[in-house]
Chains A and B, each alone.
Chain A
Amino acid sequence: NVNPDLASERQTASFSVEKLTALLDGGTEQTRIRRAVVEAIESDPVFSRENQYFQTQNERYEAAVRKAVHLQKKMHEMGWTENGPEYKYIYRALSGDVAFLLHRVFMRSISVLGSDKQIAKWIPLGTQHKLIGSYAQTELGHGTYLQGLETTAVFDTATQEFILNTPKISAMKWWPGDLGRSATHTVVFAQLYIHGKCYGIHPFIVQIRSLQDHSLCPGITAGDIGPKMNFEHIDNGYLLLKNVRIPRENMLSKFCEVRPDGTYVRQGSQQINYFTMTTVRISLISDEVLTPLMKACTIAIRYSVVRRQSKLKPGEQEAKILDYQTQQEKLLPQLASAYAFHFTNDYLQELFNRGYREIQRKNFDMLPELHALSSGFKAVITQHCTAGVEICLRACGGHGYSLLSGLPSLYTKILASCIYEGENTILLLQTARFLIKCFMAASAGQPVPPSVTYLAAVKHGKCPAKNKLDFLSPDIYTEAYQHVAVRLISSTAAKLQDLIQSGVKKHDAWNQCTVQLVQAAKAHCHYIAVKNFAETVEKLETKAGIQKIMKHLCDLFALHGIFSNTGAFLHDGYTSAAQMDMVTASYLDLLAVIRKDAVPLVDAFDFTDKSLNSALGSYDGQVYQRLYEWAQKSPTNQMSPAYERYLKPLLHNTLSKL
């Protein structure tokens, strides 16, 4: 029983929704597997999220633990394994609402940083959940800047133990997931001291809770860090260590070892480890960043064709709010971004797979470029998508503000991604450092990595567009983006050099240019994203209307970027004022074109109603009925003690006091 306003939107799709879904999944077989996993999870009532908006922090946590435990059973039942093709869809199917996510990080860090002996000892324990692990890096006083961590591990040759301490309040471990209530063990990052000398940050396996009764081990203080904007189901925790002794064998020692006599030995190359950290940034993009934006677009766009408000033409029915240009201008660019970054993600994944193969062959040449791309894109995509979800939220007016819309929780969850795995500004500055270096190298005629070769071929032209249709040519807009990136990078490099030549110290000069450097790094990533989208479109099959609609989205993504940042494109006259009017005209025309396919474009994301968990975004568009019925289940509609305790006296007795 689909709302006719939504049904009519689906009848006019210019492309095959099913084919687009398959394209997004990477093939029809992948679509089939994903749907099977989703079906298996969603048909199991233990995994239901229907009541999550009504639950307290304690209830959310308990439900997440219950689900995590049940998931083990489910996987066994279904024959899913960690290496199977189903595995990557499980998390998406659960919408991340499950405990022990850090357990996986714990396991991975042992696999990557541990010696063969350590792997043999700990991994089976973890796999069988004889212990639950966490990963304790961030401290109260230190986050992204790892060298600043203050926890210490002092080697005691007499007992062959490390003594771990959090010597001051700011050294307390703070934020690690699963640490507050669940974990029995954790990997603690601490400054290693041997015979009074500091050897820097190293990882140690520390048991924090009893395997018998779950009570805290001696010397350990741990607990939950309290309510957050989201992740109520996760017990992010704190950890204080007071003279906690662990055996020498508990330092993860694939790369560094402390011998019994206290000799410190470095072994092997850490670059593979470094590479692993870089991959984490890329691996979060799909599940943690793109999925929430795609869900938010689905909810907001479906709701916008069901919601009618005000009249466009006198005497007619009230118009669907998606028919308002201002509403299109809010939502459709977010939709285009979701597709654009989906393809960026494909590009990065492929690049990283290639990088991984090279590294296994002991070729580390790609590392700096991969690091720069992963840092920059992690920052740009998380920032862009977070802003996008918020726009979707506000575009749904008052009802978007209800938790039952699903949008507030999507927003509060995605925005954490701007902070974890490296604070965005710091990441962008890392990308900028790479760009400046490459620019200097390119100017000196030295070879540079493929993604920055454009820096070597600086062209000083003007934008050749003659009419608004020219701006629908990928060559025209890609070149405009390239021009802006080159201009920002080269002018910042010049500014840095000027400052240094005028006697300013290098680090001061750097700090004075950081605002520009951040802009340059963003421009670089934006250029790559546009270029990659355009190239992807060219390779798509022309059948079933897919290429055509993707081309429209690519154009919209590119022109929206110009329209919302006109200053960068007008600066130095690359684009003229008249050309900018053409951009605006083409951009606004595109909104009306894509409007027609907006609903099929979000349908193609293929989210089930259960996974959207939204009264506004369901497939059948029965928005108001669902909102009304769901609200009645709210615990606040059970009799509240507030009436008897406060309202009644207020209504009856307070008169005397007034």
Chain B
Amino acid sequence: AAAMSVNADLRRERAAATFQPERLTHILDGGPERTRRRKEIEALVLNDPDFQHEDLNFLSRSQRYEQAIRKSSLMVVKLREYGIADPEEIYWFKSFVHRGRPEPLDLHLGMFLPTLLTQATPEQQDRFFMPAWNLEIIGTYAQTEMGHGTHLRGLETTATYDPSTQEFILNSPTVTSIKWWPGGLGKTSNHAIVLAQLYTQGQCKGLHAFIVPIRQLGTHEPLPGITVGDIGPKFGYDEMDNGYLKMDNFRIPRENMLMKYAQVEPDGTYVKPVSDKLTYGTMVFIRSLIVGDSARSLSRACTIAIRYSAVRHQSELKPGEPEPQILDYQTQQYKLFPLLATAYAFHFVGAYIKDTYHRISGDISTGDLSELPELHALTAGLKAFTSWTANAGIEECRMACGGHGYSRCSGIPDIYVTFTPSCTYEGENTVMMLQTARFLMKSYSQVTSGQQVTGMVSYLNDLSRQRIQPQHVAARTVTMRINDPTSLVEAYKSRAARLVESAAKNLQSELNHRKSKEDAWNRTSVDLVRASEAHCHYVIVKLFTAKLAEVSDAAVHAVLTDLCLLYALFGISRNAGDFLQAGILTSAQITQVNQRVKELLAVIRPNAVALVDSFDFHDVHLGSVLGRYDGNVYENMFEWAKKSPLNKTQVHESFHKHLKPMQAKL
């Protein structure tokens, strides 16, 4: 009976698919067993009456926070009841409970506990870990300040050691030094790991982490010397009490500094940490999560927009015929299918980084950190590239849904506002791109000084080889095979090489003209960002292409190849200038690429709905009336609207308060 109720258009779309969506779902999940387990966990949450509630769109911010806290508390209990401990499985459980939204315990679970594990001494773990594990202590991670974000060295909070009492005195000396943004800080946490400039024996020793109690256990009132609160309404993150924290001569015992690596001895002697490379690991891991999140958020938006476009009929394509599905318009396909291809590309990139991270972090414990700098540099750029692209892509999906996309019932506004801060947090994107650029410039200068570089930048080695020959790299038109992804990878490689080289030369010429390195760097930074983007773009096309070889199901392989080609060719079409200017492709080839992009839109069209079905988002998780699996959009929009807060009474109170008196007067 359920199948009967599916909208006829969607039924037709699904019947026409050339492949089995489950097969593709298995690939995205990492195997049929992972899919089965994911759905099992999903069912645990969805069938649990404790996790049901009113549509969040109709709740005020306070109510949303309250719902989130309620669910988070239950979540922690139930995770342990069910014995779910694998990080990925916890992630699934959490995202089903909170429907892809942040929650007030995120920082406790994701930062406070892990930081204790990695940076606390055994004694500190004894004192803090079990209470935190049992949620007597709820903690957050207070790094960002009102005046400082990505540039950590600029943080102003101070922790001054007082050997007479063996305490640290914490202070927020200026308005700009007030901790600002940490999630869960405003109302939820009673402890925070605070990053502060350590002063001991009259010297500043740089940033260190301190465990700071902020609220009284029992009453939850702020402790004397602590000013704490919520930073107010935001674009999204309504469930999260992002907070502020101001400390005035707040004293904590010496033992509250996280001292696994650096230490302050009772007399105030500072002991330096052995290596700070380890912190790279955490950053790589978190940025890899953002790449995965870019893929998922864009996938959700694509699912909604493509299903809706198959259900919505509008205008006419052929005179006299019924109104066509809007997905049949070339302009609509051109908006959505490249994004669909992008979502797949990012999924594979996210999986690659995660795998590489796990492989390398094996090496970290055994001491081989040689690959870490490259991975660190690469993930910075990929984090920025994927989050920027997904951010814009989600908005394009929303726009492609016309007016209804603007309604909260479409679900896309929520996806957007939840996702967009990832362009800023964990490293502002432009700064990230420049980090990748720094690595690229270093690799380039290694190559020019005769060294070989390895890994994803090894294409730079070719530059020196070409330099021996009279021909400049920029004058090398490739014979591009338009239907062969590996040939397109070569084109992207040439583009990256050319833009890296060009940025390096511009940087050098600025250096020749100016005194300061930083000034030259700044004056080249637009070029440097372009070079990083080109490098990341190449890596993504390369990884997507490599993924094709692993796909054994012929039908799935065929459709993924179409998507990979579309991703690569659309990118060339959009960045045609780079390929033309470098002489990698001719105008005639670009025209051919543009044409092929449009042909591919038509090729992908019959599989579009099946391709978003493969992402396998449950309706509850999707949170969209437009993107419902059954396609019964209009009926459900009406049902949804009836629940709107403005509809609580038949005649709104404003009538009695304002309208009636006015009409009486006039």
A residues with CB within 8 A of B: 53-54, 56-58, 61-62, 65-66, 69, 72, 128-130, 132, 138, 140-145, 148, 169-170, 172, 174-175, 180-182, 211, 213-216, 223-229, 235, 238, 307-314, 318, 323-327, 329-330, 390, 394, 397-404, 408, 412, 415-416, 418-420, 423-426, 429, 505, 507-508, 511-516, 518, 565-573, 577, 580-581, 584, 588, 624-625, 627-628, 630-637, 640-643, 645-652, 654-655, 657-658
Contacts and interface: CB of A to CB of B under 8 A. Distances in A.
Interface stretch (B267-275, B300-308, B461-469, B517-525): B517-525
B80 interface: yes
B578 interface: yes
Contacts of B135: 650-651, 654-655, 658
B580 A567 contact: yes
B329 interface: yes
B654 A129 contact: no
Contacts of B399: 415, 418-419, 424
A597 B68 CA distance: 47
B66 A640 contact: yes
Nearest to B391: A394
Given A57-B646, A226-B644, A132 B138 contact: no
B229 A215 contact: no
Contacts of A645: 66, 70
Contact of B232 (A226, A588, A636, A643): A636
B577 A128 contact: no
Contact of B645 (A58, A72, A214): A58
Contacts of B635: 169
A112 B234 CA distance: 43
A397 B233 contact: no
Given A309-B148, A512-B598, A514-B330, A226 B73 contact: no
Interface of B: 57-58, 60-62, 65-66, 69-70, 73, 76-77, 80-81, 133-136, 138, 144, 146-151, 154, 175-176, 178, 180-181, 186-188, 190, 217-218, 220, 229-236, 241, 244, 312-315, 317-319, 323, 328-332, 334-335, 391, 395, 399, 402-403, 405-409, 413, 417, 420-421, 423-425, 428, 430, 434, 474, 516, 518-519, 522-527, 529, 573-583, 587, 590-591, 594, 598, 634-635, 637-638, 640-647, 650-655, 657-663, 666
B402 A143 contact: yes
B543 to A, nearest CB: 25
Contacts of A144: 314-315, 402
B63 to A, nearest CB: 9
Contact of B402 (A326, A419, A627, A628): A419
Given A401-B421, A511-B317, 7 more contacts: A238-B638, A312-B519, A324-B522, A570-B577, A625-B175, A642-B65, A651-B135
A118 to B, nearest CB: 21
A507 B634 contact: no
B590 A571 contact: yes
Consensus secondary structure, chain B interface: helix
A180 to B, nearest CB: 6
Contacts of A647: 69, 73, 187-188, 220
A228 B404 CA distance: 9
Contact of A226 (B407, B516, B575): B407
A571 B218 CA distance: 70
A464 to B, nearest CB: 19
Contact of B60 (A56, A142, A172, A426): A56
Contacts of B573: 567
Given A53-B233, A313-B518, A515-B598, A130 B66 contact: no
A585 B394 CA distance: 33
19 contacts: A54-B232, A56-B60, A62-B657, A143-B314, A181-B655, A313-B516, A318-B154, A419-B399, A508-B317, A514-B331, A518-B331, A567-B577, A577-B582, A628-B178, A632-B229, A634-B233, A640-B66, A642-B65, A646-B73
A283 B169 CA distance: 60
A132 B220 contact: no
Contact of A404 (B233, B332, B516, B652): B233
For the complex of A and B, 9 pairs with smallest distance between CB atoms: A566-B577, A567-B576, A224-B646, A226-B644, A634-B232, A567-B577, A636-B230, A408-B235, A570-B580
A87 to B, nearest CB: 19
B590 A640 contact: no
A222 to B, nearest CB: 10
Contact of B138 (A181, A573, A588, A651): A651
A403 B516 CA distance: 39
A315 B146 CA distance: 22
A313 B519 contact: yes
A514 B329 contact: yes
B651 A182 contact: no
A577 B523 contact: no
A394 B642 CA distance: 35
A601 to B, nearest CB: 20
A164 B573 CA distance: 50
A309 B150 contact: yes
A588 to B, nearest CB: 6
B85 to A, nearest CB: 14
Contacts of A62: 652-654, 657-658
Nearest to B414: A229
B577 A226 contact: no
Contacts of A424: 399
Contacts of B70: 642, 645-646
Given A62-B657, A65-B658, A567-B590, A326 B529 contact: yes
A512 B333 CA distance: 11
A140 B403 CA distance: 10
Contact of B581 (A310, A570, A633, A652): A570
